[in-house]
Amino acid sequence: MPAPYVKLYVGDVIRTRKAHPCGGDVWVIERLGADVGIRCRTCGRFVLMDRIKLERRIRAFLQRGNELPPPEPTVEAPPAPAARRREQPAPPPRPRRRIVKRARA
Ligand SMILES: [Zn+2]
């Protein structure tokens, strides 16, 4: 089972499982991306960490940041019916191709 995706927001205040060398374990998320920038609340140091790594280290959210509503799914408008479009016959169904595994030479 894949791990649930953790939503992170700029401004989130998190507590991590592992404390910073300074002793603090409370961080504020300041940057999001492939790497997440977090700032130690205790000493003020900024650390970039792999998102995956960070997600595993989060123990608790103390405060949520700018939580934005999820973007509305883009609904594709149905194509306008073309006036007097030529009817194309449907292509014949494709024959199912068998995938034959070949032994490696
Ligand atoms: Zn620190």
Q: Which residues line ion ligand 1, judged by CB < 5 Å?
A: 20, 22, 24, 40, 42-43
CB contact burial 58-78 (16+ within 10 A = b; e otherwise) = beebeeebeeeeeeeeeeeee
Q: Where are the domains of the chain?
A: 13-63
Handedness of CA 97, 98, 101, 105 (dihedral sign): negative
Whether residue 2 has pLDDT greater than 70:
no
* Lowest mean pLDDT across 33-42, 52-61, 69-78, 92-101: 69-78
Neighbours of 16 (CB within 10 A): 19
* Lowest mean pLDDT across 1-5, 6-10, 15-19: 1-5
Predicted model pTM: 0.59
- Ligand 1 centroid vs 25 CA: distance in angstroms? 7
pLDDT category at 14 given cuts 50, 70, 90 is very high
Looking at residue 74, its amino acid is: T
- Ligand 1 centroid vs 42 CA: distance in angstroms? 5
- Ligand 1 centroid vs 24 CA: distance in angstroms? 5
* HEC readout, the chain: CCCCCCCCCCCCEEEECCCCCCCCCEEEEEECCCEEEEEECCCCCEEEEEHHHHHHHEEEEEECCCCCCCCCCCCCCCCCCCCCCCCCCCCCCCCCCCCCCCCCC
- Ligand 1 centroid vs 31 CA: distance in angstroms? 17
Q: How confident is the model over 63-90, as pLDDT tens digits?
A: 998 766 556 667 777 777 666 667 777 8
